Amino acid sequence: MTSPARCPIIRDPVWNAIRLDPVAARIVDTAAFQRQRYIRQLGLVFLVYPGATHTRFSHALGVYHLAGRALQLLRERGGVPADVWAGSELIPYAALLHDIGHYAFSHALEELEADRFPGRHEEVSARFFDSPELKEALRPLGPGATRRIHGLIRGDSDLPLRGLVSGSLDLDKMEYLRRDARFCGVPYGEVDVERLLQGLVVLEDPDSGSAEVGIQEKAISTLETLLFARYQMFRNVYWHHAVRSATALYRRIVGDAVVAGLVARDELVGPTDEDLLYRIRQKASSHPDPQVRRIGAPWVSRLLARRLPKRACELTAPDLEGIDLPRWVSVEGPERRRAEDALASELGLRSGEVMIDYPSKRRMLELDLLVLRRSGDVERLGAGGLPGLIDLPGLARELYRSSRVLRVFATERREVAPGRVLRLLGGRP
């Protein structure tokens, strides 16, 4: 007698009850997926918002739940051509696995220069898909399922419903805003997710004739709240000055550890949050070079004890108005390191003890989606906006500009004149 398929129900503080189908249950049981229990969803944000200790594990379950809900609503509404459903059975599993490649402390390491880490987490996830255990869990989905799921995660799939996994309206954004706000204890991420899901519709692109996920015009006001929620969360949570200070110190620790040979680039794939810091501190502590030893103590020790670098200078959007900054200011690389070390020398500090931070996420508020107008016409909401609607793309660009702050952090309390920073960076009116 065969045992019944496992369909466990997981209690979740955000979505209440999440029921896993048998394939999802097998995926969740793999070591590759369980690893996400030990990767904090918001990296080092918990040093500022103590409740932000939720993990990639719980977030992934939430996105899986929303994927099932979105597909259910699209089926109930009807009118979706049969060919559009091709591959739709893979959507929930792509949603479940979309973050499996994340590094320790989530996105922070993706701000390193390209030669110091193996690639973005979407690409790195391929290594986890190669594990025999996960391959076996995905086997019931048929040949080629793993490749197609990875394509959905990378954003280069040709499946009509790919927008549910990667796009302006993907379920990842809806989930993390609600969950992050809940655990940080802030009101900014309270988006009407159910209304957004009810507003989803499959539309035909008037230019290409291909089908993709879009939104009804009557749900645009809810899309506006999503836009503002992301802006508020970036401005007040993700890019909070102390969060950025901790992130800058963590980048410096890992980046210098790779250069010193304490860890290889490929060794960054797999360790969990505390695991990576422990490895670096242990190897640094026994290194003969005192410049390398400081990576473990005091740098790792300071991060763990929340003795973070202090702001030496801060330039907000009004301060940077009309200033032409070079692109490397927001990219970890040799040009920025030379500028940082020049400031360190002027401030009586050693190389590596000054960090310039200018966060960049150009797709943070990006909008590119089809809208079903009340007239029945289908139009694309892109960079030029749409007549009769608030200029959401223009508003998104302005919100992105106003949320960015250029900061200089130093391991000891120092002050730097804004004009000196701009001259050093090559900014010019």
Task: Give the residue among 110, 34, 127, 75 at the shortest CA–CA distance from 363.
Answer: 110
Span between the terminal Cα atoms of the chain, in Å: 78
Question: Residue type at 272?
Answer: T
Is 157 part of a structural domain of the chain? yes
Specify if 335 maps to a domain: no
What average pLDDT does the structure give for the chain?
92
Q: Calculate the dihedral angle through the C-alpha atoms of 306, 312, 316, 322, rounding to the nearest 10 degrees.
A: -150
Residue type, 418: P
Residue 29 falls inside a structural domain = yes
Which residues, 6+ apart, have CB-to-CB distance to 175 below 8 Å?
A: 14, 59, 62, 63, 66, 193
Percent of the chain with pLDDT over 70: 97
State how far the Cα of 90 lies from the Cα of 146, in Å rounded to an integer: 9
* Phi, psi of 345, rounded to the nearest 5 degrees: -60, -40
Taking only the tens place, the pLDDT of each residue in 223-249 is: 889 889 999 999 999 999 999 999 999
Asked whether residue 410 is domain-assigned, the answer is: no
118 beta partners:
none
The pTM score is 0.94
- Residue 5 pLDDT level (bands cut at 50, 70, 90): low
In a domain, 294, yes or no: no
Domains in the chain: how many in total?
1
From 11-15, 203-207, 393-397, the region with the lowest mean pLDDT: 393-397
Residue 334 covered by a domain: no
| Residue the block writes with tokens 């992130």 | 247
331 lies in some domain: no
159 is a domain residue = yes
Write out the residue range of the structural domain in which residue 151 sits.
Answer: 9-239+362-403
Using CA atoms, how far apart are residues 90 and 141, in angstroms rounded to an integer? 8
Confidence label for 1 from pLDDT (cuts 50, 70 and 90):
very low
φ, ψ dihedrals at 265, nearest 5°:
-55, -45
| Amino acid letter, residue 291 | Q
Distances (CA, A) of 47 to 43, 69, 180, 196, 236: 9, 34, 14, 32, 14
Round to whole Å and give the CA distance between 10 and 18: 5
Q: Is the pLDDT of residue 198 over 50?
A: yes
Higher pLDDT, 362 or 8: 8
pLDDT, mean of residues 138-157: 93
Strands 354-357 and 406-410: antiparallel
Between CA 174 and CA 200 the distance in angstroms is: 13
Evaluate whether 146 touches 94 at the Cβ level (below 8 Å). Answer: no
What pLDDT, on the 0 to 100 scale, is given for residue 427? 64
Residues 6+ apart with CB under 8 A from 1: none
Q: 225: exposed, middle or buried (C-beta count within 10 Å: 0-12, 13-18, 19+)?
A: middle
Question: What is the reported pLDDT for 332?
Answer: 85
Nearest-angstrom CA–CA distance, 158 and 171: 18
| pLDDT tens sequence across 297-339 | 999 999 999 999 999 999 999 999 989 899 899 888 899 999 9
Question: What pLDDT does residue 4 have?
Answer: 54
CATH of the domain at 61: 1.10.3210.10
By the 8 A CB rule, do 53 and 183 touch?
yes
Q: Are strands 211-216 and 369-372 parallel, antiparallel or unpaired?
A: parallel
